[in-house]
Every structure is written in C-alpha cells, then in structure tokens.
Copies of this chain bind each other. A is one copy, B any other.
C-alpha cells in the first residue's frame, strides 16, 4: 500500500460519478470552469507570482511557468472549446446479431483513470483536466514543484466547477509534486489505466522506459522539408521559411531542409537572404556549405546534427541526388512526426505520401500544420509519434477505449 493510495482510491471512487454524469453536467462543469478562470483570475495570478518569486529571476523556464491575464484568457477559451466538442464516449461502433441470436454491441468508453505527468506549464493542468472531464476519464495530475502554488489554485477552481455540476470532486486530483509519486504512478497497473507524460523528451523517455502502466507518448519531431528538382522555388522558400521560423520551439517545426542537387544553387540563393533576415543559424553539409559561402550564421554540420530536434532558429541542410536519396535520408533520421516534399510532380508527390512513414506527410505545405486544433480535432494533448492507439494529433477522440457488450438469453458455446 503506497502512501499515495488515498489519492488512487479517491480516483476509483469518482469513476462511476463521472461515467454516469449526464451530458449537461459535463458541459456545465467545463463552462463553469471557464467562467471561474475569469472571475478568479487574480487569485490564480497571485499563486503564480508566489511560484515565480521562488525561482531565480534568470531561470529560462520562468516563461513556461508564467501566467498573464492574456494567457488565462486563452486557457479559459480552450476550456470552453473543449466543452463544445462532442462526447467521445458512448458511441456505437458496431452492432451485430450472431446466428445464435447473441446480440453484440461495441461501444466507446472512457479509458478510466488517466495519470498525467508534466512539467511547469500551468496550462497543462487545465488542458488535461478539461479533456479528461469531457471524455469522462478520472484525472490524476502530477505537475512540477515549480508550479505547486499555481496548480493548487488551479485544482481549487477545477473542483469548484465539478461541485457546481454535481460531479464527484475526486474526478480530478492534484498529486503532491514529489518524485516518489511518479514511481508509484508507474507501478499502479490496477489503479491507473494510462499515463500521459507531457514535457521534455527526457521526461517522456524516462516514463516510457520505466512505466508498467501503458503510456501514450507524444514525441519529438525531427522534421524534414524536401525541395525536389521540380519544386516551385518560391513556394519552397515560403514553406521552408515558415516551417523553420514561424514557431521554432515546437515539435512540428522543420529541422533539416533536404535539397535536390540540381536546384540547390538556385534555391539557396533565394533562401539565404530570407533566412538571414530571421537570423537562422545553418549547419550545412559539405556541398551546401560551399554554396552558402558568406552566409552570416554558417557552420559545418556534424554527423549527428541530422538527428537533432533543434527547437530553435537553427536548421541543418543536406543536398541529395534525387528522390530515393532523399527518402533514404528521411527514413534514417526522421522521428516519424511530420515530413514534407515540395514538388510540382504529382506522381512523385503521391509516392512520397505513400512511402514516407510518418504521422503526417505533406505535399507543398508547411509541416507546421500538424496540430489537433488545425486538423479540426479540438485541443490536443500532443503529437503522438508512436503507431499504437493514437498517431499524430492526440486529441479528445483518442481518450477512449472500446468495450464489447453481449446480450443473450442463455446461449452457451458448443466448441
């Protein structure tokens, strides 16, 4: 019996309350939470200030921890939009009657208890809570010690909203920010149905390696844009520039641009001034290094630069000899997140879509579109780079499992 089992027991108790709650109650809880985020903004900001004051002023993570009125508004809007999403549970996925008159129904049901382990961003507390309430999953939240006061205030608002809707307050529980909690969660195979780690690649890998509870993993993106010989060069420049610079800190941003040798000179001549204007640092292979002579932030690429997710204004450049060569590079280095080709050759474009093994594969568009919101799935927990259960934007619709309901009249099996 772990010292945290009281929380796990509470979670188990809340399960039926959440699963039996009517649709209006679920909606009410979320809309009320959204309102509380506005009416109780000051107390949330104050708690956040307490957390920030305990950090060194120059801690680079402070920005992740920081709440502002604008950020709280954005969180409230996100919670409201989750309230509007359709209920992913109770969907009739299949219905059939067997020759012996046994009636089968396959329906979508909540996963049960979702454990979330994340770092200092306080919006994650609200995001996961809202998605879990919407999908009738009990949530056990383990945030970081840095955000402890903010998260305590957040959970207070969440529990007020649950109470207002008549839902058991154990439906969302904030766990103490102790390291040992994580170990207990990873062992709780009977109490927790799935663990969702959110944050750095290190955190995610640690949990994937050690958890006995199944993990839904959102992964790093080493993403490529391949500029094919038949690319429209202006489109290619726009796409590469957007994929790299529009939000370099996110996983769907481009890391390496791959260029067919035949168009490399022409393309780089157009790209260089645009990239230079944004102060993009380039790590070039031998061939492109030569072509980029004079570029102000240029370095030779080390071999492992091609497997790096930069999450910053840095890009690697690789020149290849045609489609197969580009595909081989992508197969070797891709983390199977988002991959793009720029080409006017429709047949090759279709081949690229078919042969590249990634969650999202693009023709003539920026990799930056890989996103649950953009794809119309509502808020997302992250982009899954695994192949089981959820691939690509991991959103509300995947916070469920299936259940077979079988109704009979005394049927038994002959063999």
By a beta-carbon cutoff of 8 Å, the part of chain A in contact with chain B is 16, 19-20, 96, 98, 102, 104, 106, 111-112, 193-194, 208-209, 212, 214, 216, 232, 235, 238-239, 241-243, 246-247, 349, 353-355, 357-366, 368-370, 374-376, 386-389, 391-392, 401-415
Contacts and interface: CB of A to CB of B under 8 A. Distances in A.
A386 B214 contact: yes
B358 A403 contact: yes
Contact of A232 (B358, B403, B410): B410
B407 A363 contact: yes
Contact of A360 (B208, B355, B375, B406): B406
Contacts of A96: 376
24 contacts: A16-B355, A102-B365, A111-B388, A193-B387, A194-B387, A194-B388, A214-B388, A232-B410, A235-B409, A235-B410, A238-B410, A239-B412, A247-B415, A360-B404, A361-B404, A363-B407, A364-B408, A365-B406, A366-B413, A368-B412, A368-B413, A375-B404, A391-B402, A392-B404
A401 B412 CA distance: 35
Given A111-B387, A387-B193, A389-B388, A361 B412 contact: no
Interface-central residue, A194, A212, A354, by most chain B CB under 10 Å: A354
Contacts of A406: 360-363, 365, 369
Which label, helix, strand, loop or mixed, suits the secondary structure of the A interface? mixed
A387 B238 contact: no
Q: Can you tell how many copies of this chain the complex includes?
A: 2
Nearest to A413: B368
B408 A362 contact: yes
Contacts of A104: 375
A329 to B, nearest CB: 14
Contacts of A209: 212
A370 B405 CA distance: 11
Contacts of A246: 412-415
Contacts of A407: 349, 353, 362-365
A336 to B, nearest CB: 9
B102 A413 contact: no
Nearest to A232: B410
Nearest to A20: B354
Nearest to A101: B365
A290 B212 CA distance: 41
| A-B residue pairs, 7 tightest by C-beta | A365-B408, A242-B412, A387-B401, A235-B410, A368-B413, A388-B389, A360-B404
B112 A357 contact: yes
Given A361-B403, A361-B406, A392-B404, 4 more contacts: A106-B392, A243-B412, A364-B409, A365-B407
A394 to B, nearest CB: 11
A112 B374 CA distance: 27
Nearest to A216: B388
Given A112-B387, A388-B401, A410 B363 contact: no
A402 B394 CA distance: 12
Interface-central residue, A212, A363, A403, by most chain B CB under 10 Å: A403
A370 B404 contact: yes
A112 B385 CA distance: 14
A411 B369 contact: yes
Given A102-B365, A387-B111, A353 B405 contact: yes
A364 B88 CA distance: 28
A366 B409 CA distance: 10
Contacts of A369: 102, 406, 411, 413
Contacts of A374: 98, 413
A73 B235 CA distance: 59
Contacts of A403: 358-361, 391-392
A358 B391 CA distance: 24
Interface-central residue, A208, A238, A374, A407, by most chain B CB under 10 Å: A407
Contacts of A415: 246-247
Contacts of A357: 112
